[in-house]
Amino acid sequence: MDNCLMVDKLYKAYGSLTVLDNWNLTISKGQRLVFLGPSGSGKTTFLRIISRLEEPSSGVINSFDQKIGFVFQEPRLIPWRSVKDNLLFVNQHGDYQDILGRLRLTGFEDYLPSQLSGGMRQRVNLARALITRPDLLILDEAFSSLDLRVKASIMEDINQLWQENRFTIIAVTHDLKEALCLADRIIILSGRPSKIIKEIKVDLGRDRSFSSPDLLQLESELIDIMCSTQPEV
């Protein structure tokens, strides 16, 4: 399988504060990788490094010239532009009707961000990342503020789009259900200076609904692992 990303002996420090401590990782094209790690462990820093928004202190990142769609935790829509114009702003030739339809936003093209619910705004953020037809979709705690039902419905839509397009996904979340719903691989991080301390393969089929028995079984195993690898400090 072709690689999407190779990370070799990656370190990142801000002055005397070491954030990322010797990360080594290879991600294949089309894989879905989810990071679970405590706040401040450098997850956003890592995502910014692989998006070339930030330089590593040392180490090598090979990210094989690809288009990246980035969804941030807080909506970053342009407030005075409509939903449609927010999308066309990032890709003026993009098929906004198609992507809005797939994300259940048909009929809201002319709404301003302030006229949408939080869940709808995050759907627009996702649509804005996907309208660039990315090879790599990065989700940085993108759905953390949403309620369970909205989250489940967005996960379903992302999984459907992934089935069709097989872009690579790198996501960060604190939500174990969200992680299990999205991931082929889950990477568990230590606190800062953060290291990769464990990787879990997620061999679930296409049924990734939050209440599927296989997902619930894995969730309870994951809780055990998290509790044994991340003692409270």
Query: Residue 151 CB, nearest distance to Mg ion (Å)?
Result: 18
Q: Which amino acid is at 53?
A: L
Q: Which one of the spans 44-52, 120-128, 129-137, 192-200 is the region binding Mg ion (CB under 5 A)?
A: 44-52
Q: Which residue(s) pair with 7 in the sheet? A: 25, 61
Taking the complex as a whole, the smallest distance from the CB of residue 217 to ligand ADP amounts, in Å, to 28
**Taking contact as CB under 5 A, which single stretch among the options 10-18, 37-45, 79-87, 174-182 is the one that binds Mg ion?**
37-45
The alpha carbon of 110 is separated from its chain's Cα centroid by a whole number of angstroms, namely 27
Between residue 19 and residue 48, which ones bind ligand ADP under the rule CB under 6 A?
19, 37, 39-45
Shortest Å, Cβ 29 to ligand ADP: 25
Alpha-carbon distance of 37 to 25, in angstroms, equals: 16
Helix (H, G, I), strand (E, B) or coil at 180: helix
Work out which of 8, 9, 14, 199 binds ligand ADP, going by CB under 6 A: 14
Pick from 212, 211, 152: nearest CA to 182: 152
Contact residue for Mg ion among 31, 44, 122, 230 (CB under 5 A): 44
**CA–CA separation, 89 vs 85, rounded Å?**
6
Query: Pattern of binders to ligand ADP over 105-144, x per CB under 6 A?
Result: ----------------------------------------
- From Mg ion, ligand ADP, none, which one binds at residue 173 (CB under 5 to 8 Å depending on kind)? none
Q: By C-alpha distance, which of 141, 163, 146, 140 is closest to 68?
A: 140
Which helix or strand (DSSP H or E) is residue 4 part of? Answer: strand 3-14
3 state SS of 40: coil
CA pair distance 114, 102, nearest whole angstrom: 21
When asked if residue 173 is in the footprint of ligand ADP (CB under 6 A), the reply is: no
User: Residues interacting with Mg ion, by CB under 5 A?
Assistant: 43-44
User: Residues interacting with ligand ADP, by CB under 6 A?
Assistant: 14, 19, 37, 39-45
